[in-house]
Amino acid sequence: MHRYPDSPVFYRNLAREFPLAVRGEGCWIEDETGKRYLDAVGGAFVACIGHGVREIGDAMAQQAGRIAYVSGAAFTNEGVEALAAKLVARTPGMDRAYILGSGSEATEAALKLARQHWVERDQPTKHRVIALKPAYHGNTMLALSASARETYRAFWPEWLTDVQRIAAPYSYRCGCDGAADCPSCSGDALEAAILREGAARVAAFIAEPIGGSSTGASVPRDGYLRRIREICDRHEVLLIADEVLCGAGRTGTWTASESFGVVPDIMTLGKGISGGYAPVSAVLARDAIIEPLARGTGALVHAQTYSHHAVTCAAAVAALDYVDKHDLIARCRNVGVTFHERLQALRDLPGVGDVRGRGLLAGVEFVADTVTRAPFPRSLKFAERFVRNAQQAGLIVWPNVGHADGTNGDLAMLAPAFIISDSEIDLVVERFTTAMTRTMADLHASAPAT
């Protein structure tokens, strides 16, 4: 049995049994019993080129056969030089890339870079960070401090640093109905927060240009990010774009920021840059951000043993080459149109309040009342029930909870590989519908008799 306590593995969930995945191909995963699952979220928004691409493993083996690991404090290596060059070349405005292993690490390093930048410029009072709510930026303590996912923060309040939050541009929940003067959706809330705090104290504003799981792929209105850029420039606040989830082609352009015509000061990338074949993330920055460090301390005061790793970088280089060879970002953009058209059928299902997103990223928000948009009570664990039923139906999705008010709120995320076919998109809709029907039936069956 693949569950606690029958296995020596410390599983991510100690209350369930896990099927053993033994192989993957394209958008499909097969377990040890032969059951096949349509991976409609790339594991965790990661497997963008599909499972089973042998040339990625071949590239890793070739690099490992030459040299697998050297400390980034003593050497550079072919893998990291090639990956940094590729990332910078395809990300206009970014000049340098610091390679790490996970999105959380990248957020941690990006926030440290923002703080050190101001210290090296003799402006040490600039230490405060402003972030959005809801939002998620990672699970290391500084990254978690910048996140507004209360279920993840509940055990650690004494360990987290204070981060000022403003409401995210989350139109389904803010209730502005597109009003031009909505502070959250227009960006005015950021300026108000900077003025309250005092610009001389604010180091950075961090945000996902297109929402991740915490807002269910909510897309801000046109002009929002340009307004944010202008506010940050005027008050000398660094803009950090967290593109760990929405970047690397996921929303139909290499970065989500470029689709809004905005260049941040610092950007984080992760997940899809290696297609899931190795743990790789990156902090990208403009030279103007790095130069004060070069003139002063001489280094970012941040260290990870496995940063700049030759083999993982080789995996990312091969994955990006594969994306280019098959023109997969353009495919993501084009297939994304069909994807969202067909997902609209889910709106007709009881319990579905909204379907939204861009490219091959979508969020389906579940509500108890589609008119008032009232969420299901958290006690019902609707998202967890749905995900369990979806996996039983052979569909892998990603849940999120708490986005409505910090406690209540349920949604499911979809982010299939860029190679997904039209027939597989139809199967996503079919299996999603099956899982939703079962979940609603479960609720009715468990409701107390009246």
Q: What residue spans of 121-263 are helical by DSSP H? A: 141-145, 150-153, 171-174, 183-186, 188-197, 224-234, 256-259
Rounded average pLDDT over 55-78? 98
Which CATH number do you get for residue 247? 3.40.640.10
Q: Which residue range forms the structural domain that includes residue 354? A: 21-52+327-446
Rounded average pLDDT over 331-348? 98
Does 1 fall in a domain? no
Query: DSSP readout, 325-359?
Result: HTTHHHHHHHHHHHHHHHHGGGGGSTTEEEEEEET
Cα-Cα-Cα-Cα torsion 218, 221, 222, 224, nearest 10 degrees, comes to -100
Which of 297, 325, 353 terminates a domain? The answer is 325
Question: Are 185 and 220 contacting, i.e. CB atoms less than 8 angstroms apart?
Answer: yes
Q: Is 130 left (phi over 0), alpha (psi -120 to 50) or beta?
A: beta
Rounded average pLDDT over 99-115? 98
Domain total of the chain: 2
Give me the pLDDT at residue 446, please. Answer: 80
Does 141 fall in a domain? yes
What is the H or E stretch that residue 89 is in?
helix 78-89
CA proximity to 276, closest of 45, 28, 6 = 45
Burial of residue 153 (number of CB atoms within 10 Å: 0-12, 13-18, 19+): middle
CA proximity to 98, closest of 229, 266, 258, 254 = 266
Average pLDDT in the chain: 96
Mind listing the pLDDT tens digit for each residue in 343-383?
999 999 999 999 999 999 999 999 999 999 999 999 999 99
My answer on whether 267 and 408 are in the same domain is: no
Amino acid identity for residue 213 in this structure: S
Give me the pLDDT at residue 449, please. Answer: 60
Which CATH number do you get for residue 37? 3.90.1150.10
Give me the pLDDT at residue 179, please. Answer: 79
- Asked whether the predicted pLDDT for residue 448 surpasses 80, the reply is no
- Looking up tokens 């043993």, which residue turns up? 305
- Asked whether the predicted pLDDT for residue 18 surpasses 90, the reply is yes
Mind listing the pLDDT tens digit for each residue in 175-194?
787 778 899 999 999 999 99
Rounded average pLDDT over 412-430? 98
Does 10 fall in a domain? no
Which pLDDT band, with edges at 50, 70 and 90, does 38 fall under?
very high
Which pLDDT band, with edges at 50, 70 and 90, does 251 fall under?
very high
Q: What is the DSSP letter of 379?
A: G
3-class secondary-structure state, position 205? strand
Instruction: Report how far residue 144's alpha carbon sits from residue 121's, in angstroms, rounded to the nearest whole number.
Output: 27
Termini Cα distance of the chain = 40
Which pLDDT band, with edges at 50, 70 and 90, does 116 fall under?
very high
In 10 A of CB 193, how many CB atoms? Answer: 20
My answer on whether 389 and 354 are in the same domain is: yes
Q: Where are the beta strands (DSSP E) in 173-330?
A: 202-207, 238-243, 266-269, 281-285
Rounded average pLDDT over 52-77? 98
* pTM summary value: 0.97
Question: Are 153 and 142 contacting, i.e. CB atoms less than 8 angstroms apart?
Answer: no
Give me the pLDDT at residue 175, please. Answer: 78
My answer on whether 41 and 88 are in the same domain is: no
My answer on whether 244 and 171 are in the same domain is: yes
My answer on whether 304 and 379 are in the same domain is: no
Rounded average pLDDT over 446-450? 68
Side-chain-side CA neighbours of 207 within 13 Å: the count stands at: 37
Instruction: Report how far residue 382's alpha carbon sits from residue 436's, in angstroms, rounded to the nearest whole number.
Output: 10
My answer on whether 285 and 162 are in the same domain is: yes
In 10 A of CB 406, how many CB atoms? Answer: 15
